[in-house]
Amino acid sequence: MTEQVEGFDLVVIGAGAGGLTAAMYGARLGLKTVVLEGMMPGGQIINAEKIENFPGFPDGLLGADLAPLIERQASAAGAEVRMFTEVESLESQEPYLSLSTPEATFRAKAVIAATGSDFANLGVEGEEEFRGRGVSNCATCDGAFFLDETVAVVGGGDSALDEALSLTAFVSNVIMLVRGNEFSGQAHLQERVRENAKIDIRFGHTVTAVLGGDAGVNGVRVKDAGTGEDSTLDVAGVFIFVGTDPRSSYMSGFIGLDGGGHVETDVSMRTSSPGLYAIGDIRSGSARQLVTSAGDGATAAISAHRYIESRSWPE
């Protein structure tokens, strides 16, 4: 059986805000463009309870509402979006780039990698055992399962602060466990968290184990950095927001990654491989914000268009 090969000017890997913006710009510039998304379009913003820092929406909006709007713009511009198409590997077939998926091989003049990131794990006892049974990375998805219960939120950045606030709509009490001595998230989120009577903030506390039984999570073991003492907190759920890991494994072996799995780019989002661009969370130095990912996408698409126009391509 002959392998199916599909040819495009531009292939965008990932349909988050950055990838869809890149696809919209690419298509508007006249490039035959396809977006390959392993799951559903939208990326992590789909689960955001309220996005308040994206320009043009002063009252904020649900991530589940914003993602379809960006997808609609990309499709209206002429980009094709294919869901449940996971890119497994990337290689050079000069002058083209070749992407392998379970269904087909895609040949592209330029590729924009926009696969985002996954939530990082704590790496402690019980975390994987109780995932889906009290351990979660999504308050919007799972908060309602803990109605009038006490839960723990681990982390001190934007995601942790935002999700802690979202949880207060369901739970009786949120215990925030922050490894450092202060939050690292945005000031206005910090203020809202500090003012919320349902949120108990505990700085200098590290989770060393997630505890539970047949019914799921029933506690966490924590260490107090100040006293060195271990203690157990009774909680029904643990929501973990301690950073992210880039989804870049499909590029391993094709292009060099830094120690954290990120891709080095220049200001035009170009990587060391001609025709390959990286945007958003997977690139080194990313601000990891929705608006900057969208900006990266526009920059990469314009760069890719210039690259394609500057070369001669065989028929």
Q: What CA–CA distance (Å, rounded) separates 34 from 32?
A: 7
Torsion of CA 98, 288, 285, 182, to 10 degrees: -150
What per-residue string of b and e applies to 148-157 under the rule 16 or more CB within 10 Å gives b? ebbbbbbbbb
Whether omega for the bond prior to residue 95 falls within 30 degrees of 0, making it cis, is yes
User: Phi first, then psi: what are they for 125, rounded to 5°?
Assistant: -55, 135
- E strands, the chain, in order: 5-13, 33-36, 80-82, 89-93, 96-100, 105-113, 117-119, 135-136, 150-154, 173-178, 199-203, 205-213, 216-224, 230-233, 237-240, 244-246, 276-278
- 3-class state of residue 240 by DSSP: strand
Give catalytic residues, as residue numbers.
Answer: 138, 141-142
